[in-house]
Amino acid sequence: MTERLILITNDDGAWAPGLDALARVASRFGRVVAVAPDRNRSAVSSAMSLNDVLRLQDLGGDRYACSGTPVDCVLIGIRAVLKREPDWVLSGINHGYNLGEDVFYSGTVGAAFEGCLQGARAAAFSIDTRGDLAVGETWIGTFLERFESMNLPPNRIWNVNLPQGEPKGFRLSSQDNRKYHDMVEERLDPRRTPYFWIGGEMGPTYSKGPGTDAESVLSGYVSVSPLRLDLACPEVLGRGAEFDGIFNGNAR
């Protein structure tokens, strides 16, 4: 049997401890090649560098640093480094949760989605900022042992979040809702000219609805959420007659 080929990346950068942890645990399941950003690229979502020259630095031992985004790393990793489609694309271990609407901003999740678009089985991994990566490795290892046992429909990934302490188990979870505070903060530079800082100092608050990713992970479970690239709304698509009456009728 051909050895499984695994591409890993992240958005925290090629020297992040979480990438080392993911490489160690993934190496139990095949050949691991890491292509990760050469700096922190958090919150860039699925951004792609269409107008910038990209540089690739060979760090040795099947590890590379790329000057681009996490999505760039996946594309360059597949097209220029591996030169073939990998079996798995794994992203993380991110320093901090990716829960609820975080997934729309996360470079970690964006990289996993790109791996899925390129035909690989893909997952994104995140852990509490106070979490123990060694504990996280153990549970991610268990997850990867069973990774291929539960098939997802096309264009789907797993989004996995690990709690602060020793998990109580895995929990299949939906997406929660979250609210950020101090989203845009205005400050003055030394010349008294205003500038803006997006994010502020306060973290998000989550609704923690029953069965959601935030409720699961904040209750001490590994939250495992299936996410899909298809964002269409079936509940609206089923209202075709109403749509035609409004948009294709004679009313002006």
Domain 5-178+207-247 is classified in which CATH homologous superfamily? Survival protein SurE-like phosphatase/nucleotidase (3.40.1210.10)
Do residues 92 and 70 lie in contact, with contact meaning Cβ atoms separated by under 8 Å? no
pLDDT of residue 40: 93
pLDDT of residue 184: 82
Task: Give the pLDDT band of residue 202 (cuts 50, 70, 90).
Answer: low
For 21, other C-beta atoms within 10 Å of its C-beta total: 20
The pLDDT tens digits of the residues spanning 120-167 come to: 999 999 999 999 999 999 999 999 999 999 989 989 999 999 999 999
The per-residue b/e assignment along 62-79, b for 16 or more CB within 10 angstroms, e otherwise, is: bbbbbbbbbbbbbbbbbe
Task: Give the pLDDT band of residue 221 (cuts 50, 70, 90).
Answer: very high
The pLDDT tens digits of the residues spanning 42-60 come to: 989 999 999 999 999 999 9
Distance of CA 34 to CAs 11, 25, 40, Å? 12, 13, 15
Task: Give the pLDDT band of residue 186 (cuts 50, 70, 90).
Answer: confident
DSSP 139-173: HHHHHHHTTTTS---SSEEEEEEE-SSS---EEE-
pLDDT higher than 90, residue 197:
no
pLDDT of residue 1: 58
Mean pLDDT computed over 107-123: 97
Task: Give the pLDDT band of residue 185 (cuts 50, 70, 90).
Answer: confident
pLDDT higher than 70, residue 250:
no
pLDDT of residue 201: 63
Do residues 82 and 206 lie in contact, with contact meaning Cβ atoms separated by under 8 Å? no
pLDDT of residue 237: 93
Ranges 85-89, 110-114, 202-206: which has the least confidence? 202-206
pLDDT of residue 134: 96
How far is the C-alpha of 241 from the C-alpha of 53, rounded, in Å? 49
Alpha-carbon radius of gyration of the chain: 20
Residue type, 199: G
User: Mean pLDDT of all residues in the chain?
Assistant: 92
